[in-house]
Every structure is written in C-alpha cells, then in structure tokens.
Structure 1
Amino acid sequence: MTNDLKQRTKRFALDCWILCSQLPKTREFNAYVNQLIRSSSSVGANYRAAQRAKSSADFLNKLKIVEEEIDESDYFLELLFEVCLIEKLDFEPNFQPLMKESKELTAIIVAAIKTTKSTIQTK
C-alpha cells in the first residue's frame, strides 16, 4: 500500500501540473494555479515524510499535514473548475478525474489517521 500511495500522490501532483499547464496564462488564473501546484505536490512530499516518521505520534502529525494539503488541492481544483465554467472554458473532462482522485486520496488518508489514532490510544 505504501508504494502504491507514494505513486498515486506523485501522479496526482503531475496530473495537476499537466492541467495547470493547459489553463490560460493570466494573472488571475496564475494565482490559483500556483496554489494548486504547491498544495498538490506537497501531498506526495508530506506522505513520503510520514513514511520516515520517528514515532506513531510523528506519523500521525505528518498524515494530518497530508490531509490538509489534499483538502487545499481539492479547494483549488473546485475554484479553477468554477472559474472555467464562468469563463466558458471547456476543461470539465480534465477536472473530473483529478477531483475524484483528490476525494479518494482524502478518504485513504482520513482512514489512515483514524487507524493510527486508535493504535496510539490502545498502547
């Protein structure tokens, strides 16, 4: 599962980058694009850091950061999607798989956080 999730989080960051490279290059788009690129790449980077945690508590804290970053990525995907609708840009097919993946990654990370919490509490 660890390697699979490492690959998925990396693929998510790359797919977000690909989407962002296709969006208009304006000051307004760039503000959201930059945020999405930062947060989506941070998901994988922080997940990798969690794998090197020094303790269960450290692992839990790092997973919480991953959860925050994936939620932030989801937020900027939603914003960019809605802006594209407002601007009448046809990017919907590009957004749907990424929004689905962000929801799936969130569910996986939340489950891992719950499992880790219960493990820590039973010790």
Structure 2
Amino acid sequence: MSKELEDRFFNYAKHVRDFCQKLKWNTINLVYIRQLVRSSSSIDANYLEASDDIGKSDERMKIKIARREAKETNYWLQLLITYNDPELEKEKLVLIEEGNQIRKILSSIVSKLVG
C-alpha cells in the first residue's frame, strides 16, 4: 500500500473533522455529523487494514469497504445544512470533490487487485 495514499486519506478525515467543527450542531446536523466523521475516518482505517498481510481476497474486501465509506462520506456531506454560508458551502464542495477522487482511486485499486 502507498504511504502517499495513506497520508491523503488520513488528511481527508482530518479536514472533514475540522469542517464539522465549523457547522451548527443542531438536532439535524448532529446526526449527519456523527455519521460523516465515522465514514470519513473509516476510509483510511480500512485502507490501513488492507495493507496487513491477510491475503488478496481480504485485501480486496478492505479496499472495497474503504471505497464504500468514501461514497457514504459524500452522501452525508451532501445532507449537511450550511445555512447558505458561502465559505462553508465552498469547503463542502471541495470535500465532496476530494471524496470523489478518493473513490475513483480506490476503484482503480480494486480493479487491479481483481486481475
């Protein structure tokens, strides 16, 4: 596994966490924030587990789980309420785009592991 990707996924989780701290923690957002923090941090956690010497099928499964967590992270990001704050909206879009890039990277890894 790539140390560069490991760092990228870890930094993404930190950026999501920091973004969440800027949001209004009302009844609705609180549910989304909790899910978002879990899913974004699970991307790197599963990627790290895939690097353990556990066999190709387990490695592929962990990468697939990481990819699924990236998709889920974008889902929760889209649901968050920013109350039309332009700075928060901009930051949210940047995080969504990075989540899309991460999902594509993980999809590429999965396709290489199948072959």
TM-score w.r.t. structure 1 length?
0.88
- Aligned partner of 1:68: which letter? R
- Aligned partner of 1:99: which letter? I
How many residue pairs were aligned?
A: 114
Match of 1:88 among 63, 84, 87: 84
SS at match of 1:25: coil
Deviation at 1:27, TM superposition (A): 1.4
Is 1:73 matched with 2:73? yes
1:108 counterpart residue number: 105
- Aligned partner of 1:11: which letter? N
Question: Residues of 1 paired with 2:3 and 2:33: CA distance?
Answer: 27
Question: Residues of 2 paired with 1:31 and 1:4: CA distance?
Answer: 31
1:38 counterpart residue number: 38
Consecutive unaligned residues of structure 1, counting only runs of 5 or more, are 119-123
Q: Deviations over 1:8-63 (max 9, x none)?
A: 00001000001100000111111000100000001011100001141111110111
Deviation at 1:93, TM superposition (A): 1.6
Structure 1 runs of 4+ with >6 Å offset: none
* Bigger Rg, structure 1 or 2: 1
2:9 counterpart residue number: 9
Consecutive unaligned residues of structure 2, counting only runs of 5 or more, are none
Question: Residues of 2 paired with 1:15 and 1:49: CA distance?
Answer: 21
Question: Residues of 2 paired with 1:52 and 1:88: CA distance?
Answer: 43
Question: Residues of 2 paired with 1:53 and 1:21: CA distance?
Answer: 36
Q: Give the alignment's Cα RMSD to 1 decimal.
A: 1.2
Question: Residues of 2 paired with 1:40 and 1:53: CA distance?
Answer: 24
Q: What fraction of aligned residue pairs are identical, expressed as a percent?
A: 28
- Aligned partner of 2:4: which letter? D
